[in-house]
Structure 1
Amino acid sequence: MPSYSKKELVEMINANRVLVVSGETGCGKTTQVTQFILDDHINRGIGSTCRVVCTQPRRISAISVAERVAAERAESVGNANSCGYQIRLQSRLPRRQGSILYCTTGIILQWLRSDRLLSSISHLVLDEIHERNLQSDVLLVIVKDLLSLRDDLKVILMSATLNAEKFSKYFGNCPMIHIPGLTFPVEEFLLEDIVEMTRYSPQNKDRRSSWKRGFWQGRQSRPEKEEKEAEYKESWPCYARSLPVNLAEHSKVFFFLSLSVWCFLSDRFIIIPLHSLMPTVNQTQVFQRPPPGVRKIVIATNIAETSITIDDVVYVIDGGKIKETHFDTNNNISTMAAEWVSLANAKQRKGRAGRVRPGKCYHLYNGLRASLLDAYQLPEIMRTPLEELCLQIKVAYEGEAPQLIKCGVSFLLDNLTALGFHLARLPVEPHIGKLILFGALLGCLDPVLTIAASLSFKDPFFIPLGKEKMADMRRKTLSRNSKSDHLTIVNAFQGWEDAKYRGSRYEREFCWDNFLSANTLQMLHNMKGQFAEHLMNTGFVSSKNPKDPKSNVNSDNEKLIKAVIVAGLYPKVAMIRPSHSKKRVKVYTQADGKVCIHPKSVNSEETDFNYTWLIYHLKMKTSSIFLYDCTEVSPFSLLFFGGDITIQKDEDQDTIAVDKWIVFRSPANIAHLVKSLKKELHNLLQEKICNPAPVDWQNRQSKDCAVITAIIDLITTQEKQSGGGQGYGRTWAPAPRGSHLHFDDDDDD
Structure 2
Amino acid sequence: MRGSSSWQLAEAAKAQFSRDYSDHLALVQAYEGWTNAEKDLAGYEYCWKNFLSAQSMKAIDALRREFYSLLKDTGLVDSTTTTCNSWSYDVHLPRVVICYGLYPGVCSVVHNGKSFSLKTMEDGQVLLYYNSVNAKESKIPYPWLVFNEKIKVNSIFLRDSTAVSDSVLLLFGGNISMGDTDGHLKMLGGYLEFFMKPAIAEMYRSLRTAESQDGTFISAVRLLISEDQWGDNSKSQLQTLLTRAGYAAPTYKTKQLNNSQFRATVEFNGMQFMGQPCNNKKEAEKDAAAEALECLMGEPIGVMIISNTCR
Is the pair's TM-score, using the shorter chain for normalization, greater than 0.5? Answer: yes
Q: Which amino acid aligns with 1:676?
A: S
User: What is the Cα deviation at residue 485 of structure 1?
Assistant: 0.2
Q: Does 1:662 align with 2:201?
A: no
Q: Which of these residues, 238, 246, 249, is aligned with residue 742 of structure 1?
A: 246
1:531 and 2:35 correspond: no
- 1:442 corresponds in structure 2 to none
Map 1:90-129 to 2 at 5 A.
Answer: none
Give the whole-Å Cα distance in 2 for the aligned partners of 1:487 and 1:722. Answer: 29
How far does residue 464 in structure 1 lie from its aligned partner after superposition? 6.4
Other structure's SS at 1:510 match: helix
Amino acid at match of 1:493: Y
TM superposition shift of 1:743: 4.7
Residue aligned with 1:618, SS: strand
- TM-score, normalising length: structure 2: 0.72
Select 1:648's aligned residue among 171, 179, 184. Answer: 179
Distance 1:726 1:490, change over 3 A: farther
Gaps of 5+ in 2: 249-267, 270-295, 297-309
Other-structure match for 1:500: 38
Question: Could you tell me which of 485, 492, 499 is aligned with 2:23?
Answer: 485
TM-score by length of 1: 0.31
Using the TM superposition, give the Cα deviation of residue 671 of structure 1 relative to its aligned residue in structure 2, in angstroms: 0.6
Residue 636 of structure 1 corresponds to: 167
Following superposition, the deviation at residue 579 of structure 1 comes to 3.2
How far, CA to CA, are the matches of 1:726 and 1:525 in structure 2?
A: 45
Separation in structure 1 between the aligned mates of residue 26 and residue 214 of structure 2, nearest angstrom: 30
Helix, strand or coil at the partner of 1:611: coil
| 2:122 paired with 1:625 | no
Could you tell me which residue of structure 2 aligns to residue 540 of structure 1? Answer: 76
Aligned residue for 2:219?
709
Give the superposition deviation at 1:623.
Answer: 2.6
Aligned to 1:562: 95
The aligned counterpart of 2:301 is: none
Please state how far the C-alpha of 1:668 moved relative to its aligned partner.
Answer: 0.2
**Aligned partner of 2:208 among 666, 673, 678:** 678
Q: 1:727 to 1:519 in 2, by over 3 A?
A: farther
Letter in 1 for 2:202: H
CA distance in structure 2 between the partners assigned to 1:563 and 1:623 by the alignment: 32
Query: How far apart are the structure 1 equivalents of 2:130 and 2:241?
Result: 29
CA distance in 2, matches of 1:555, 1:538: 21
Report the residue type matching 1:714 in the other structure: L
1:529 to 1:472, Cα distance in 2 relative to 1, 3 A: same
5 Å-filtered alignment, 1:13-32, equals none
**Counterpart selection for 1:514 from 28, 34, 50:** 50
In structure 2, what residue type is equivalent to 1:477? Q
Contact 2:183 2:199 in 1 (8 A): no
Runs of 5+ unmatched residues, structure 1: 1-260, 262-462, 685-702, 733-740
Q: How does 1:70-81 map to 2 (within 5 A)?
A: none
- Equivalents in 2 of 1:615, 1:705: separation in Å? 27
Query: How far does the alpha carbon of each residue in 1:310-365 deviate from its partner, in whole angstroms, 9 at most, with x for none?
Result: xxxxxxxxxxxxxxxxxxxxxxxxxxxxxxxxxxxxxxxxxxxxxxxxxxxxxxxx
Note the 1:132-531 alignment, pairs <5 A: 465-480=4-19, 482-504=20-42, 507-531=43-67
Larger Rg: 1
| Partner SS, residue 134 of structure 2 | coil
Cα distance in 2 for partners of 1:510, 1:727 equals 48
SS in 1 for 2:87: coil
Residue in structure 1 matched with residue 243 of structure 2 by the alignment: 731
% identity of equivalent residues = 30
Q: Which moved more, 1:624-633 or 1:723-732?
A: 723-732
Cα offsets for 1:263-289 (capped at 9, x unmatched): xxxxxxxxxxxxxxxxxxxxxxxxxxx
Give the aligned partner of residue 211 of structure 1: none
Provide the alpha-carbon RMSD of the alignment.
2.9
Pairwise CA distance, 1:722: 7.0
